[in-house]
Structure 1
Amino acid sequence: MNEHVHDTADLTKNQTLVMGALTRSKGPLSAYTILDQLRDNGFRAPLQVYRALDKLVEFGLVHRLESLNAFVACRHPGCDGDDTIAFMICERCGQVNEITDTALAARLKQLAGEASFALKKTTIELRGLCRTCQAA
């Protein structure tokens, strides 16, 4: 079982820089965007960014949005223990809201169990328009 890092003081320099870029961002970032932002900090190769991202995802501090091939800082403290994470992604402005719902998680586990499927993790991505973009 992986030990989760909960304190950003325990991160390496590269992990801290990548985490900072994601925390400052208003939306998801690709690894290449992070690389471009951190070139002045000594980042030269995508592998440096991917290594840091892999660890940050493992620690539960960052989430990968599969449909966008991008990453976001966790906005829901303590969610690294949750098996189900859902994201509402605005297709116009790119805003991402992270949500958890215990009833949804329980229903998905039930469906998986009925299918004799050993569910390990669920990531749900809802695509649409946020309230601000709907009003525009």
Structure 2
Amino acid sequence: MTPDLTRNQNLVMKALSSAEAPLSAYTILDRLRSDGLRAPLQVYRALDKLTEMGLVHRLESLNAFVACAHPHCHEQELIAFAICENCGKVEEFSDDTVKERLEGWARTHRFKAAKTTIEIRGDCGGCADKG
């Protein structure tokens, strides 16, 4: 078990870490029923804490979750995700140029951003090569 994680948080983290694609809270619950998780609230509480800790990200467009691919990405002000609509693969990255452009826009428009997440949807390289 990972230090500072509850049993439920550890189970949810392992389910996301071993998943090939993002998982919804209900998919996580279905996968963990045999481990004793019975209620959606158990999963949502674990996901909330894991997200707060920077270990998990919520993909807004999919209403699903992925384990963080980069240990210190939560220190970044901008996180981007490339989501393959064919195979479901998700790649996480941060881009300083995009971050600088968005910060410049925010400064110019006196907008104080609290969080910036970019989701790019399309085909990954493997799927694009097949098509």
In the superposition, the TM-score normalised over structure 2's length comes to 0.96
Instruction: Give the Å deviation of 1:109.
Output: 1.1
Q: Aligned residue for 2:10?
A: 16
Q: Aligned residue for 1:102?
A: 96
What letter matches 2:117 in structure 1?
A: T
Q: Extract unaligned runs of 5+ from structure 2.
A: none
| 1:49 partnered with 2:52 | no
Alignment equivalent of 1:58, drawn from 52, 61, 81: 52
Alignment equivalent of 1:25, drawn from 19, 26, 43: 19
CA distance in 1, matches of 2:48, 2:115: 16
- How many residues align? The count is 130
Identity rate, percent: 61
| 1:74 partnered with 2:76 | no
What letter matches 2:107 in structure 1?
A: G
Q: Aligned residue for 2:86?
A: 92
What letter matches 2:77 in structure 1?
A: D
Deviations 1:83-135 (A, max 9, x none): 10000000000000001111211111111111111111100000000011011
| 1:125 partnered with 2:125 | no
Question: CA RMSD, aligned part only?
Answer: 1.1
CA distance in 2, matches of 1:102, 1:114: 18
Q: Which runs of 4+ in 1 moved over 2 A?
A: none
Q: Extract unaligned runs of 5+ from structure 1.
A: 1-7
